[in-house]
Chain A
């Protein structure tokens, strides 16, 4: 049955340069002298380092644990000693440093204990957890954690699209993978299909890769896979863009601001499916990937490269040639120049191109835009690149957003056709990152406003509470004073109170009479006479005091009752 294919708007046909590397089998790269493994190789939060400098780690051991929901694990690509955990230049267009684990391989390739499982016997939650712990991320270049894309069921995913289009010039890693490991890709697709409850799987392969297409189709027949189809799609750049491939294979156009999953389609790269299969069935975390090494090298070919392998050591295996001016990571359309040849290979690195003056002549100077709208014809997202360019150039970001700047996939088709050689994508990237920075600032300002308002509210509340307490205290004091005054004026008339005071005083007296000093036994006669003298003195004082005691002032009596006089206490 022939499948009906659809077209997407625009697209360009740059020279492919694929034959240099596509006809040689994948070779395992030689173990490098050291591995520089960045802890942030995925979209989301940076992995948290869980090893110490000096630790011996085994191949496949977790060295960075996922931190937060959107994150992924990072593993030791081989067994060896952790030499450093520090900031090192990473493969990023900024040329800035990020946290990396430097590993000195011991050459033993000693694995951690890892057990695979049959995916049919595991719960979907467990499968997703295993993928997360295995550090499986999208290998098409976006490195989005795959477990986050594999929630099926309620979204009603109908079709799973596997992306084997590989539309960028020079790159052949997916081509070789499909030719050599077709069955494993299909097994991975089965796992993904089960997680998504997808009905069908369509594998899109550009028709300039007939061998890969044939290999996949043969594997489908041999493995008796049901509902999986490998489809040849026309070769047009950027036919490997997720939205473009979905359009071509299913006819579904994903609207702006909508995820393809909302339209019932999910898309993965073929290499991601392969890695998912290795992770589930063999318990192997993502430790390596296929990397095309091409451009200005003696033997362009594909290598299976451990993550963290320094780019210069990898390129040397393909035969470094003189005249290399730098290295591109990714293809010539969307890739970027590496800040240094010492950076480690990361999960996003599908291709390393050694640049030379002959292959990549310096860009012609940019001329003014003549509004020829060739970029409009080329844009696969049906945007107005010339308008976006004007707005980005003028820092008119609001307007750029209105013209759907964020639907731009930065494929570079517009810049490719521009007769004025304007680096359009650079303007779009500039505008996008400025808008993101403003949004960050806005969120920070909103938080600060909230915190400031709460602080003011808190200070005001504390003040009010303090004032209320003080008022309460004053009120209580005033009340007590009032009562005391009232008592003073009313007490003489209050016979009852008078009687109670008398009774209390009598009770105290009785108590006092009953108590006897306990240390009066076995006293010498001298001491006894001393005591007798003291007692006599006391009696005299009491006699003197009593007649003077004014019974018309009960307050003084109360004082006497309340406070035991010193002489009432027994003396030693």
Chain B
């Protein structure tokens, strides 16, 4: 009787120790769901969802504060991916939001006064320049977030849609033109 009690309580202590140790050793930092959602978001860091960047939006979704249909750069497909990840119904864009054509910012270098305001606004450091020096966009790093547009005092930044080139051209979905039947 006593030995059985000892064995059982010993076992309980041993397993408890293992559980306690692994709880400390393999502790999950932060919410892993935030990372998963963040991986799906387009990382433009544009703030068009109302949150200051993609990760804050991901956090807000995790906490149930934000809906999944607020990300215009992600498009319908982004919503579908989020819906699949979270196991909820996909829904159309909310009011005022909508998918956007991909574009990069372009600085009219003859107008730029070198104020560095856009440098400070750019979330991915894609603008090169210094005080009273002409600024320019590193087009390959620009996410098209449009955050540099409002601070510019001379309105020298414009968004240029990314043109289709041989390098990024895609085969089209096969469609057939309908031809009217000739009447006899």
Contacts of A430 in B (CB 8 A): 170-174
Name the residue on B nearest A435 (C-beta).
Answer: B170
B43 touches A446 (CB 8 A): yes
A434 proximal to B (CB < 8 A): yes
A446 vs B42: C-alpha distance in the bound complex, in angstroms? 9
Report A338-363 CB contacts with B as 1/0, cut-off 8 Å.
00000000000000000000000000
A94 proximal to B (CB < 8 A): yes
A437 touches B42 (CB 8 A): no
Mostly, the B contact residues are: loop
Report B24-48 CB contacts with A as 1/0, cut-off 8 Å.
0000000000000010011111000
A448 touches B43 (CB 8 A): yes
Contacts of A432-457 to chain B: CB distance below 8 A: 432-434, 436-437, 440-441, 444-449, 451-452, 454-455
A426 touches B165 (CB 8 A): no
A96 proximal to B (CB < 8 A): yes
A440 vs B167: C-alpha distance in the bound complex, in angstroms? 11
B170 touches A448 (CB 8 A): no
A451 touches B166 (CB 8 A): no
B43 touches A96 (CB 8 A): no
Name the residue on B nearest A40 (C-beta).
Answer: B166
Q: A451 contacts which of B38, B124, B169, B172 (Cβ < 8 Å)? A: B124
Q: A429 contacts which of B54, B165, B171 (Cβ < 8 Å)? A: B171
A92 proximal to B (CB < 8 A): yes
A455 touches B174 (CB 8 A): no
Contacts of A90 in B (CB 8 A): 166
A455 touches B124 (CB 8 A): yes
B123 proximal to A (CB < 8 A): yes
B173 touches A455 (CB 8 A): no
Q: A452 contacts which of B43, B166, B168 (Cβ < 8 Å)? A: B43
A426 touches B171 (CB 8 A): yes
Contacts of A366 in B (CB 8 A): 176
A429 vs B173: C-alpha distance in the bound complex, in angstroms? 9
Contacts of A429 in B (CB 8 A): 171
Q: How far is the CB of B122 from chain A (nearest CB, A)?
A: 8
B116 proximal to A (CB < 8 A): no
B141 touches A96 (CB 8 A): no
B89 proximal to A (CB < 8 A): no
A368 proximal to B (CB < 8 A): no
Assess A455 versus B164: contact at CB under 8 Å? Given A446-B43, A448-B143, A449-B38. no
Contacts of B107-166 to chain A: CB distance below 8 A: 123-126, 141, 143, 164-166
B171 touches A96 (CB 8 A): no
- Chain B residues near A (Cβ < 8 Å): 38, 41-45, 53-54, 123-126, 141, 143, 164-166, 168-174, 176
Besides A430-B174, A444-B143, A455-B123, 18 new A-B residue pairs in contact (Cβ under 8 A), listed by A number = A90-B166, A92-B166, A93-B171, A94-B169, A366-B176, A423-B174, A429-B171, A433-B170, A436-B170, A444-B43, A445-B41, A448-B45, A448-B124, A448-B141, A448-B143, A451-B126, A452-B53, A455-B125
30 examples of A-B residue contacts, CB within 8 angstroms:
A92-B166, A93-B171, A96-B165, A96-B166, A98-B165, A423-B174, A426-B174, A430-B172, A430-B173, A432-B171, A433-B170, A434-B170, A437-B168, A437-B170, A440-B168, A441-B42, A444-B143, A446-B43, A448-B43, A448-B45, A448-B124, A448-B141, A451-B124, A451-B125, A451-B126, A451-B141, A452-B53, A454-B125, A455-B124, A455-B125
